[in-house]
Amino acid sequence: MKLPFFWIDAFTAQPFRGNPAGVCPLTEWLPDEILQRMAFEHGLSETAFLVPKGPGRYHLRWFTPAVEVNLCGHATLASAHVILRELKAATGSVVFDTKSGPLGVAERGQRLEMDFPERVAQPHGPLEHVTAAVGAAPRELRVAGNHHLFVYERESDVARLRPDFAALRGMKDLRVIATAPGEDCDFVSRYFASSVGIDEDPVTGSAHCTLVPYWCERLGRKNVHARQISARGGELWCEWASPRVKIAGQAVCYLKGEISV
């Protein structure tokens, strides 16, 4: 069986930056075991699989090399780029039906803007075992489900983090978002999800469902400009429209071809 495949760098206007995602349009679902094996074979933080449901509407699922996840930002952005700009199968906008509900993506000039649910983090007491694995104590700790928001004083504090990924790998379904005020943007972040097979994600759209409400409330604004300061780096423009978060960025196609399954 031959399947189309796209490698898209998301949250960047340049190849080799942002977060790479695999996008595989299907006509019908393959067995979950095959989807998971394909995601493992690709070795990307996420591979998106989509099946059409009607004009401008698709069923979308995301797989890391290890597990299926309930929400993924960069692979949603990548999927919208494929539908709207590579395949030209819809015009202006597209809606994806997912495990996190319907997610709309609309063209905004050169950017694509995603409409995601907010995930507001609540203040939490110290978690010594997580802090030890991350490598430095935050000034503030908040939690939203399995996402732990570590807030630091300075961008350099986040940049210097050297987590113990082996320790994080042993903490079931734990994800850590490290953040601080930015030097040339409103805030910066890094994202660690070793427990689901991703030691450090280059740019994490879904983390901004938690980051944007926190920073908008702290800064007293509804619109913020963010950077993820991983080795690849990425840039996001966001709006808090509670209970939703608008997350916008650019994307470029690095590779397109065919998979043999």
Q: Which residues are catalytic?
A: 46
CA 6 from chain centre, in angstroms, equals 17
Helical residues (DSSP H) of the chain, grouped into ranges: 32-42, 73-81, 128-134, 155-159, 165-169, 208-219
Q: Could you tell me the sign of the dihedral formed by the alpha carbons of 11, 165, 43, 148, in that order? A: negative
- At residue 53, φ and ψ (nearest 5 deg) are -115, -20
Neighbours of 134 (CB within 10 A): 22
Which structure tokens are listed for 245? 């978060």
Cα(73)–Cα(78) distance, rounded to whole angstroms? 9
Neighbours of 235 (CB within 10 A): 19
Q: Could you tell me the sign of the dihedral formed by the alpha carbons of 40, 43, 46, 47, in that order? A: negative
Single-letter residue type at 180 = A
Which structure tokens are listed for 131? 């802090």
Sequence-distant (6+) residues with CB within 8 A of 74 are 10, 11, 18, 19, 21, 45, 46, 202, 203, 204, 205, 234
